[in-house]
Amino acid sequence: MRLALDEADRAGRAGDVPVGAVVLSPDGTTVLATGHNEREATGDPTAHAEILALRRAAAALGEWRLVGCTLVVTLEPCTMCAGALVQSRVDRVVYGARDEKAGAAGSLWDVVRDRRLNHRPEVVEGVLADESARLLTDFFRTR
């Protein structure tokens, strides 16, 4: 999560909402890819930290299925990112701050654990939640 927080800080310094993500290999120790929000930088509405990290991890593995992998992200994934997590077959998502307005991993919706879907990753929430939330609060306080 510390690496994801570093990524989030990079996004904030670049003028994007400070969210950072890391994809870990199945061994849980090797970083396959990182990402941070780049919507403002690229003008791409899909350039969320999670999407970018998943794309980069798939490229690193040469495989779209990220079976056994863990995505660590500073903010609870939105519906788009939750859908991508399901589609990419990650085994686990670990997130920091809850997103009561748009979260789709247990707060507002629970897309990742919907029993109607073919894949449901494990969800671990609240890891370094205060630090993750503080980055967001500080960012929006200056807006």
Which positions make up the binding site? 48, 78, 81
Pairing of β 20-24 and β 70-75: antiparallel
Going by C-alpha positions, the residue among 65, 59, 109 that lies closest to residue 87 is 65
Catalytic machinery residues: 50
Q: State which amino acid sits at residue 118.
A: N
69/16 Cα distance (integer angstroms): 26
- Of all residues in the chain, what percent are helix, strand and coil, respectively (each to 5)? 40, 20, 40
Q: Residues comprising the binding site for Zn(2+)?
A: 48, 78, 81
Cα separation, 42 vs 45, in Å, equals 8
